[in-house]
Structure 1
Amino acid sequence: MDLFRFFSKDDTASKNIAKERLKLLLVHDRTNVSPQFLNMVKADIIKVVSDYIEIDHSGLEVRLGRHRKSDDTIVSTLTANIPIKRMKKIGKNTYK
């Protein structure tokens, strides 16, 4: 086992985590949205989606970002990645 490779992999992971956190802070700053607001939105999304779908909360990811449209304008985006365990059966309707 290469000891240097073992420790350098951890440094790369830490670097990537720090980079993602910095991006998130910059997006929050540019969109004038506080982290508390994002947490409130995330909680509401979980509440609504959970009424219809059983989700994996540990893999849930909600992000604010910026996206360039086809006409070269830049817009703020809200992206939610929600791992689905299974669809819930609701009344007469069964979602598959």
Structure 2
Amino acid sequence: MSFSELLTKFFPKEEARIKPHSSKEIAKERLRLVLVQDRGNSIPDDTLIRLRSELIDVISRYMVIDETQLDMGFNKSEGEIALVASIPVVRIKQ
């Protein structure tokens, strides 16, 4: 086996590494999405409280916000979960 053949064996060309999606890969991806959704539905309250607190701390470094009107939650759309936050900004800090 020549040196170039050995290199090709260990470092295949980009086209050789890209494989079409098999049924198995598609099923695994779907299962992963279902698990992500399920985990998103079961986020512990203390985790959400800590997340809210940390977001407030970070944003407050740069802006004055109205914490009483802050709203956070999760939205599900087309197999994905999104963290959505509505944070009223009073003013930007200088």
Task: Bin the TM-score by the shorter chain.
Answer: 0.5 to 0.7
Higher strand share: 1
- 1:34 aligned partner: 44
Matches within 5 A, 1:36-51: 36-51=46-61
> How far has the Cα of 1:54 moved from its partner?
0.2
Q: What amino acid sits opposite 1:51 in the alignment?
A: R
Q: What amino acid sits opposite 2:87 in the alignment?
A: I
Q: Which runs of 4+ in 1 moved over 3 A?
A: 27-31
Q: What amino acid sits opposite 2:65 in the alignment?
A: I
User: How much is the aligned-residue C-alpha RMSD, in angstroms?
Assistant: 2.0
In structure 2, relative to structure 1, the CA distance for the partners of 1:39 and 1:28 (3 Å cut) is farther
**Greater Rg by CA:** 2
**Count of aligned positions:** 58
Q: Percent of aligned pairs with the same residue?
A: 24
Describe the SS at the equivalent of 2:43: coil
Matches within 5 A, 1:1-96: 31-68=41-78, 74-89=79-94
TM-score computed with the length of structure 2 as normaliser? 0.55
Q: CA–CA distance in 2 between the matches of 1:28 and 1:67?
A: 14
> How far has the Cα of 1:47 moved from its partner?
0.4
> How far has the Cα of 1:32 moved from its partner?
2.8
5+ residue gaps, structure 2, are 1-36
Q: What amino acid sits opposite 1:75 in the alignment?
A: E
Q: CA–CA distance in 2 between the matches of 1:30 and 1:57?
A: 24
5+ residue gaps, structure 1, are 1-26, 69-73, 90-96
Describe the SS at the equivalent of 1:42: helix
